[in-house]
Amino acid sequence: MAGWTQHRGQALVLAIDNIDTDQLIPARFMSVPRSQGYGRYLLHDMRRDESEKLTADFPLNRHEGVSILITGQNFGSGSSREAAVYALVDAGFRAVIAPSFGDIFANNAINNGLLPAQINESMISQMKEVLKGVSGELSIDLTRNQLKLGDITTTFELDKGWRVKLINGWDDIDLTQQHKRTIGAHRNLRNQSTPWAWPTGPD
């Protein structure tokens, strides 16, 4: 995964609270291998009618090349499915801006280079006013936790560990393997002090 510090892209408001991961990608599409791309399943049942046709009035269907979503609270709540993040990333998104996020979703987003930027609801409303129902250019600076849209400049909240990870594009497995010896020591200590923590088991 490549790290990033700055992004400038088209932002669009989707003023809906509680967009859960079942809506981000309905369960029936999750057996598809990632290599086939998940972008077309993003918000599938909101965006498409029964015959799979994109509905004309849905904001995301009226704008091409949007990479930043400005949305309502509790975005990405529900199921732990990382496919919800794949759908956003594969559809070209780099950031979601919302007043709050589901904890597992935010974690998954970071692991895929997608920024979950948290700002308060009044700032979301201001951005909504600036954009007036169409997409507009927004720039993100990860080094300063900063968003710029028209005359608005604001900072967003992001766990500092997550910020470093996004910037560096770190892969946790590589990082963790540097601690192999410490992990081994912990394992042995635990195995000796709490042998019951290992399954006895019939097989």
Partner 1 sequence: MSPPRTMLDKLWASHEVLTREDGVSLLWVDRHLVHEGSHHAFAKLSERDLPVAEPGLTFAVVDHYAPTRNRSRIADPNIAGMIETLRGNAARHNLRIFDLDDPAQGIVHVIGPELGLTLPGLLITCGDSHTSTHGAFGALAFGIGATEVAHVLATQTIWQRKPKSMRINIDGSLGAGVTAKDIALNWIARLGTGGAQGHAVEYAGQAVRDLTMEGRMTLCNLSIEGGARFGMVAPDEVTFAYLNGREYAPMGQDNDTAQKTWRGLATDQGAVFDREVTFIAADIAPTVTWGTSPEQALPVTAKIPVPDQADPAKKHSTREALDYMGLRPGRPLAGIPVDQVFIGSCTNGRIEDLREAALVLSGRRACVPGLISPGSARVKAQAEAEGLDRIFKDAGLEWAASGCSMCVGMNGDVVGEGKRCASSTNRNFRGRQGRGARTHLMSPAMVAAAAVTGAITDVRSLLKGRAA
Q: Which residues bind partner 1 (CB under 8 A)?
A: 16-18, 20, 22-23, 26-28, 30-31, 33-34, 45, 73-74, 77-83, 85, 100, 102-104, 107-108, 111-112, 159-161, 164, 172-173, 176-177, 179, 182-183, 186-187, 190, 194-203
Q: How far is the CB of 203 from partner 1 (least distance, A)?
A: 7
Q: How far is the CB of 175 from partner 1 (least distance, A)?
A: 8
- Written as six digits, the tokens of 188 are 């042995």
- Sign, CA torsion 86/91/95/101: negative
In terms of CB distance, is 134 or 164 closer to partner 1? Answer: 164
**CA gyration radius, the chain:** 20
In terms of CB distance, is 143 or 194 closer to partner 1? Answer: 194
Upper half-sphere CA count for residue 79 (Cβ side, 13 Å): 13
Q: How far is the CB of 89 from partner 1 (least distance, A)?
A: 12
Q: How far apart are CA 102 and CA 94, in angstroms?
A: 17
In terms of CB distance, is 64 or 193 closer to partner 1? Answer: 193
Q: How far is the CB of 105 from partner 1 (least distance, A)?
A: 8
Q: Which strands make up the sheet holding 6-14, listed edge to edge?
A: 115-118, 95-98, 66-71, 6-14, 136-141, 146-149, 152-155
Cβ neighbors of 152 (< 8 A, separation 6 or more) are 123, 126, 127, 130
In terms of CB distance, is 84 or 147 closer to partner 1? Answer: 84
Q: How far apart are CA 89 and CA 113, in angstroms?
A: 8
In terms of CB distance, is 79 or 135 closer to partner 1? Answer: 79
Q: How far is the CB of 123 from partner 1 (least distance, A)?
A: 15
Upper half-sphere CA count for residue 113 (Cβ side, 13 Å): 20
In terms of CB distance, is 65 or 178 closer to partner 1? Answer: 178
What stretches of the chain adopt beta strand conformation (E)? Answer: 6-14, 66-71, 95-98, 115-118, 136-141, 146-149, 152-155
Q: How far is the CB of 153 from partner 1 (least distance, A)?
A: 26
